[in-house]
């Protein structure tokens, strides 16, 4: 073996074809191998790795079968074997390594062309003993059983050949020109593809016998990751792609370009950061002025708390790293259980995400109690312990169920751990079903409350009297405010559900398209739509970003001003003045707070004061009776 190696393909002899003619190895009679189409992202480029220059070909294809996207990435790993190459433990090692890390790329040839098994065996025989002297084993991913045997009628393979033309391995003959060798053997007349298309054999031209079955075989090929014995999921039922065993999805996903993956990282960081900031402002405002947040609006605070923790879960990727959280070596994590960063991130996103949905139901329910059943804020607050029990217990049971079923897996795009990323049944059971139920129940309570508010508005307008128009206007403002907040929740929730349904419907098709070449579909079945995934991540955080809309008022500014003065300025005496104001006789109209110039009182006082009780009695009593109810308790201004 000399420094200059030239490549030729071992052309195997296929016997007993339909017409009985023998086919001998040669360029004009290539045997059938699985027709694996080029990956959409694959590209031919000139070899830049110095170790692999001058090995007989100068074009390589990326991504390669080792799941490297660039030559630089492949070179970092290949260079670890340079000492063995320089040691010349095997004359075939350099060629063998380059065939793995810099696979040959032939224009208009869309099939795999690995080295023959004999090349691997000679390399292992010469170098494995030296590696063992330093306590290193022959890498599992370089197992010689992975490579085709020379003479295999279903797979072509290549071997190095010296300048003299003598074979160093394989079963084919040598070529005088040392190029892509033909057969030098004598034998019966070869049947060329042109001959096979004549006469009675013309029907074989489009679909040769057995060709389709060979081409349609599903294999774990790039960009998928072949799992070795050292992998935790080796020979398990979870690590399967298109029913191919011991096959995993790569750590950073099997689709999209490097640029798209990088954009996805920044996209998620941007919206999770805004979500964290918005919800944190809401929580701090609540701490500053706790008494301001009374039922039925208080669940907004706990909803913001949940989304704050969800944002922390997404941002944790920037702290721990994509690989640390979502990956197990080169493959994505499957069925993660036990303590660890993956489980922690899962709990932050899943537990608090489901808790936020339950708090949305509680919020809609308390609005229904206030508007539909005429409950006051004190009556609703008496049942707050049941709200907390439901909001925290139900997500706990859901999370425990997921962990017990080992349904947590990695998200190759977001770099987080969740449930249903790699298993559509888990996605339907633990994500889609609960979200749909929460959305329907919450929307039902919300619409019922709106119907009650419309009735109250009609009663006010029919009653007439002094201030009826102003009261109706304020009620309309409240309805608009509640409506906006409802839209800001229901629309993102519906979009997240729709995106998850899209993934559940097409995930198996995407995986089949990679592993099974002839089953590749078109459109959304071929690969996931990039913008759909980006929309899902945005909408999963949008509710947290907009949750602060309820506190965007002058009262929030006043609360922060008081905090600022308390920390850095003179003592605030506003509280004492407010205490004096509270001792004044009640004003004989609802929403007295607004009449006295207290900002932001309209939204909460309509639902948090006995006014709704008064309106409920208008149909059977006089306007004086309404006036009497209002005088019993002055309305409180909350948010």
pLDDT band at residue 354, thresholds of 50, 70 and 90? very high
User: Dihedral through CA 50, CA 52, CA 58, CA 61, nearest 10?
Assistant: -110
- What is the widest separation between alpha-carbon atoms in the chain? 117
**Are both 71 and 24 inside the same structural domain?**
yes
Average pLDDT over residues 462-487: 69
Q: Within this chain, do residues 306 and 399 fall inside the same structural domain, yes or no?
A: yes
CATH code: domain of residue 76 = 1.10.2000.10
Judgement on whether residues 494 and 463 belong to the same structural domain of the protein: yes
Sign of CA dihedral 81, 84, 85, 86: positive
Instruction: Give dist(CA 90, CA 124) in Å, integer.
Output: 8
Task: Indicate if 578 and 541 belong to the same structural domain.
Answer: no
Do 55 and 151 fall within a single domain? yes
Cα 506 to Cα 118: distance, rounded to the nearest angstrom: 41
Give the domain-ending residue among 154, 181, 208.
181
pLDDT at position 593 is 36
531 domain-assigned: yes
Same-domain status, 177 and 68: yes
Q: In angstroms, how far is the first alpha carbon of the chain from the final one?
A: 84
240 belongs to a structural domain: no
Tokens at residue 2, please? 């000399």
Higher local confidence (pLDDT), 494 or 136 = 494
Written as one string, the DSSP assignment of 322-386 is HHHHHEETTEEP-SB-SSSHHHHHHIIIIIHHHHHHHHHHHHHHHHHHHHTS---HHHHHTTHHH
- For residues 472 and 603, state if they share a domain: no
- 431, 577: one domain: no
108, 69 contact by CB (below 8 A): no
Percent of the chain predicted with pLDDT > 70: 68
Position 148 in a domain: yes
Task: Provide the 3-class DSSP secondary structure of residue 556.
Answer: helix
Best-predicted range by mean pLDDT among 120-124, 187-191, 289-293?
120-124
pLDDT band, residue 170 (cuts 50/70/90): very low
Mean pLDDT in residue range 164-173: 36
Q: What is the pTM of this model?
A: 0.60
Domain that holds residue 295: 258-554
- Does the residue 193 lie in any domain? no
Q: Are residues 146 and 81 in the same domain?
A: yes
Q: Which of 94, 84, 158 is nearest to 127 (CA)?
A: 84
CB 233 within 8 A of CB 335: yes
Q: How confident is residue 328, by pLDDT bands cut at 50, 70 and 90? A: confident
Q: Are 576 and 549 part of one and the same domain?
A: no
Structure tokens of 281?
A: 């402002």
- Beta strand 43-46 with 225-226 is unpaired
Q: For residues 503 and 583, state if they share a domain.
A: no
Q: How many domains does the chain have?
A: 3
Same domain, 618 and 545: no
Residue where a domain terminates, one of 140, 164, 181: 181
**Domain end residue (candidates: 124, 157, 181):** 181
> Does some domain include residue 224?
no
pLDDT, one tens digit per residue, over 501-526 is 999 999 888 888 888 766 655 655 67
- Domain presence at residue 218: no
Task: Report d(CA 216, CA 280) in Å as an integer.
Answer: 54
Please report where in the chains the tokens 């060709």 appear, as a residue. 211
Q: Which of 175-179, 405-409, 561-565 has the lowest mean pLDDT?
A: 175-179
**In a domain? residue 226:** no
Residue ranges of E strands in 430-523? none
Q: Is the dihedral of CA 458, 463, 469, 475 positive or negative?
A: negative
| Tens digits of residue pLDDT in 404-418 | 998 999 999 999 999
What is the pLDDT at residue 358? 96
Residue 252 falls within a domain, yes or no?
no
- Map residue 586 onto helix, strand or coil: coil
Alpha carbon 277 to its chain centroid, in Å, reads: 23
CA distances to 143, 293, 581, 630 from 121, in Å: 9, 74, 92, 93
Copy the structure tokens of residue 214.
């060979």
d(C-alpha 392, C-alpha 467), whole Å: 43
CATH number assigned to the domain comprising residue 489 = 1.20.1070.10
3-state secondary structure of 46: strand
* Mean pLDDT calculated for residue range 346-372: 91
């Amino acid at each position: 073996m000399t420094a200059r190696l030239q490549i030729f393909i071992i052309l195997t002899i296929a016997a007993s074809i339909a017409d009985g003619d023998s086919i001998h190895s040669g360029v004009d009679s290539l045997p059938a191998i699985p027709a694996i189409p080029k990956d959409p992202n694959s590209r031919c480029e000139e070899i830049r790795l110095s170790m692999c220059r001058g090995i007989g070909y100068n074009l390589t294809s990326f991504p390669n079968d080792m799941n490297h996207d660039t030559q630089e990435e492949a070179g970092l790993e290949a260079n670890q074997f340079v000492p063995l190459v320089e040691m010349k433990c095997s004359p075939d090692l350099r060629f063998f390594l380059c065939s793995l890390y810099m696979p040959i790329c032939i224009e208009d040839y869309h099939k795999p062309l690995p080295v023959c098994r004999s090349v691997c065996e000679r390399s292992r025989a010469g170098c494995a003993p030296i590696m063992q002297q330093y306590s290193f084993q022959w890498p599992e991913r370089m197992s010689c059983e992975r490579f085709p045997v020379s003479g295999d009628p279903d797979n072509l393979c290549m071997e190095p050949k010296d300048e003299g033309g003598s074979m160093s391995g394989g079963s084919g003959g040598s070529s005088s020109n040392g190029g892509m060798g033909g057969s030098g053997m004598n034998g019966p007349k070869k049947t060329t593809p042109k001959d096979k298309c004549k006469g009675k054999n013309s029907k074989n031209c489009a679909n040769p016998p057995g060709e389709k079955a060979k081409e349609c075989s599903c294999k774990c090929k790039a960009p998928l990751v072949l799992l070795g014995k050292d992998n935790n999921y080796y020979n398990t039922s979870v690590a399967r792609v298109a029913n191919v065993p011991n096959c995993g999805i790569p750590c950073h996903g099997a689709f999209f370009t490097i640029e798209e993956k990088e954009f996805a990282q920044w996209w998620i960081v941007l919206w999770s950061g805004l979500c964290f900031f918005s919800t944190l402002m809401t929580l701090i405002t609540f701490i500053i002025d706790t008494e301001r947040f009374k039922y039925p609006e208080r669940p907004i605070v706990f909803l913001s708390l949940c989304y704050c923790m969800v944002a922390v879960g997404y941002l944790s990727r920037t702290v721990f790293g994509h690989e640390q959280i979502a990956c197990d070596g080169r493959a994505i994590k499957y069925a993660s259980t036990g303590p660890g960063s993956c489980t922690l991130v899962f709990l932050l996103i899943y537990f608090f995400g489901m808790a936020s949905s339950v708090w949305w139901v509680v919020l809609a329910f308390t609005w229904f109690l206030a508007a539909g059943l005429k409950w006051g804020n004190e009556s609703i607050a008496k049942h707050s312990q049941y709200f907390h029990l439901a909001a925290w217990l139900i997500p706990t049971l859901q999370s425990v169920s997921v962990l017990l079923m080992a349904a947590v897996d990695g998200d190759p795009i977001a770099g987080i751990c969740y449930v249903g990323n790699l298993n559509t049944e888990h996605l339907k059971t633990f994500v889609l079903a609960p979200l749909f139920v929460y959305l329907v129940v919450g929307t039902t309570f919300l619409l019922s409350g709106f119907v009650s508010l419309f009735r109250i508005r009609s009663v006010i307008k029919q009653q007439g009297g002094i201030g009826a128009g102003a009261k109706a206007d304020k009620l309309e403002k409240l309805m608009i405010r509640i409506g906006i907040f409802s839209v800001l929740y229901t629309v993102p929730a519906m979009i997240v559900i729709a995106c998850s349904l899209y993934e559940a419907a097409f995930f198996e098709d995407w995986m089949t398209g990679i592993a099974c070449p002839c089953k590749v579909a078109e459109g959304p079945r071929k690969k996931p739509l990039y913008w759909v995934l980006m929309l899902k991540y945005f909408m999963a955080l949008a509710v947290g970003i907009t949750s602060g809309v309820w506190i965007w008022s002058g009262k929030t500014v006043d609360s922060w001003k008081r905090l600022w003065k308390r920390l850095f300025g003179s003592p605030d005496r506003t509280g004492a003045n407010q205490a004096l104001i509270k001792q004044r006789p009640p004003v004989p109209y609802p929403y007295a707070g607004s009449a006295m110039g207290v900002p932001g009182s309209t939204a909460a006082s309509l639902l948090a004061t006995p006014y709704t009780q008064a309106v409920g009695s208008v149909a059977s009593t006089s306007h004086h009776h309404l006036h009497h109810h209002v005088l019993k308790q002055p309305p409180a201004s909350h948010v």
